């Protein structure tokens, strides 16, 4: 998912303590999709309760959010609304997911756990029930939920431009194309990440990418950055085969907007304009009170999480000050 311009959009290391007291807009769909992909058992099976209900998304939301909240970060979860009529979903993508499911089952039968987990991560499916569960847990934890008119990342970018939030938390750089001044990546506090297709893990640290710095370094306008996105592919179009970040950078400096549209094909201009002027809305942000009992009822009683582990995290949150009544910094 997202625009593939990572090589040209390097950020600087960010310490979580630098975000203390700051509001951040979270790209909810991307984070939840990430949890469903990564939080799995050895054979690739997602975490489940005794009824077979998937709980990976709830685990990810609870533990990652708790760490951020303990550090004084104020997450605001922004969910997608209505998809634009040109949202890019292809038969090829669906076929790849079905192929991954078949290979996952084959690997499990062979007992090849490494291959099983790899293919399992390509089978992620996020349904309405999971989304409703996610929203419920987020609000129980004392964090706001915002439903965007259309793309969540567009709404996040708007909130950042309007200084409702400090930055946008996402792994994708689409937020920059939508005009977000600051993109925050790897906000899992600390950890490791597996390199795609390799059994190699690298240390990751939170980082901040500032749009003005990227545009300055590449000698581009935001409009040209959007054209680069169209060339390499976005969530709304497939891009042009054989064109990567470096080649797209050269093209947008040499060709006109109209020539780029011709190269990209149908809907190019519509997608370009969508990045420039997406549907967004003004929102009033209120942080609800954390409801520990409802969290325990949901996670422990309903979804069979460990009572001791949940209790420990909730106690740590209380010690950090999150969830207490009368905390002005949370109710501003």
Q: Are residues 35 and 114 in the same domain?
A: yes
Give the rounded percent of residues in the chain with a pLDDT score beyond 70: 88
122, HSE (Cβ side, Cα atoms, 13 Å): 19
135 and 270 share a domain? no
> pLDDT band at 326, cuts 50/70/90?
very low
pLDDT of residue 121: 78
Please report whether residue 295 resides in a domain.
no
Contact between residue 122 and residue 265 where contact means Cβ atoms under 8 Å apart: no
Q: Is residue 255 part of a domain?
A: yes
- Both 34 and 151 in one domain: the answer is yes
168 in any annotated domain: yes
CA–CA dist 170, 160 (Å, integer): 13
Q: Rounded mean pLDDT of 255-260?
A: 95
pLDDT of 105: 80
CATH at residue 271 = 1.10.150.20
Q: Are strands 145-147 and 182-185 parallel, antiparallel or unpaired?
A: unpaired
Q: Give the pLDDT confidence of 197-248 residue by residue, as tens digits.
A: 555 666 778 899 999 999 999 999 999 999 999 999 888 888 898 998 899 9
Q: Would you list the DSSP string of 146-194?
A: EE-SS-HHHHHHHHHHTTSSSEEE-SSSHHHHTT-SEEEE--SSSEEEE
Give the per-residue pLDDT at 331. Answer: 38
What pLDDT, in 10s, does the model give residues 16-63?
999 999 999 999 999 999 999 999 998 889 999 999 999 999 999 999
141 and 229 part of one domain: no
On whether both 120 and 245 belong to a single domain, the answer is no
Number of domains in the chain: 2
The reply to whether 44 falls in a domain is yes
What mean pLDDT comes out for the span 294-312? 98
What are 132-141's pLDDT values in tens digits?
A: 999 999 999 9
Q: Which of 216, 240, 260 is the last residue of a domain?
A: 216
Domain range for residue 202?
A: 9-216
Same domain, 50 and 188: yes
What tokens does 24 get? 């951040």
Domain assignment present for residue 250? The answer is yes
Is the domain of 124 the same as that of 240? no
257-264 vs 268-276: helix crossing angle, rounded to 10: 120
Q: Is residue 192 part of a domain?
A: yes
Determine the pLDDT at residue 107: 77
| Mean of all residue pLDDT scores within the chain | 88
pTM: 0.89
104: in domain: yes
How large is the average pLDDT for residues 81-105? 75
Mean pLDDT of 178-191: 85
- Judgement on whether residues 209 and 241 belong to the same structural domain of the protein: no
Give me the sign of the Cα torsion angle 53, 56, 58, 63. positive
Last residue of a domain, one of 197, 216, 235: 216
Is residue 57 domain-resident? yes
In a 3-state reduction of DSSP, which class is residue 46?
strand
| Bridge partners for 25 per DSSP | 76, 168
């Amino acid at each position: 998912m997202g625009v593939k311009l990572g090589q040209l959009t390097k950020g600087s290391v960010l310490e979580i303590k630098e975000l203390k007291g700051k509001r951040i807009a979270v790209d909810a769909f991307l984070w939840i999709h990430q949890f469903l992909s990564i939080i799995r058992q050895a054979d690739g099976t997602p975490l489940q309760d005794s009824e077979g209900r998937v709980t990976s998304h709830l685990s990810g939301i609870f533990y990652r959010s708790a760490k951020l909240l303990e550090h004084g970060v104020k997450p605001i979860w922004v969910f997608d609304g209505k998809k634009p009529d040109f949202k890019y979903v292809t038969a090829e993508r669906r076929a790849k997911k079905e192929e991954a499911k078949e290979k996952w089952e084959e690997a499990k039968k062979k007992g090849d756990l490494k291959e099983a987990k790899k293919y399992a991560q390509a089978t992620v499916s996020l349904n309405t029930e999971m989304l409703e569960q996610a929203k419920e847990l987020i609000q129980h934890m004392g964090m706001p939920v915002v439903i965007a008119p259309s793309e969540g990342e567009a709404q996040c970018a708007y909130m950042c431009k309007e200084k409702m939030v400090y930055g946008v938390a996402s792994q994708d750089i689409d937020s920059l194309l939508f005009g977000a001044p600051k993109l925050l990546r790897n906000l899992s506090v600390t950890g490791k990440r597996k390199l795609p297709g390799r059994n190699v893990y690298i240390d990751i640290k939170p980082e901040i990418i500032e749009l003005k710095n990227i545009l300055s370094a590449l000698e581009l306008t935001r409009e040209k950055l959007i054209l680069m996105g169209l060339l390499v592919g976005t969530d709304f179009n497939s891009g042009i085969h054989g064109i990567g970040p470096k080649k797209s950078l050269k093209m947008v400096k040499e060709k006109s907007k109209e020539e780029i549209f011709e190269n990209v094909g149908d809907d190019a201009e519509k997608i370009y304009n969508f990045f420039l002027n997406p549907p967004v809305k003004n929102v009033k942000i209120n942080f609800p009170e954390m409801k520990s009992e409802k969290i325990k009822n949901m996670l422990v009683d309903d979804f069979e999480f460990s009572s001791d582990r949940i209790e420990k995290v909730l106690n740590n949150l209380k010690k950090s000050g999150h969830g207490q009544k009368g905390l002005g910094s949370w109710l501003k």
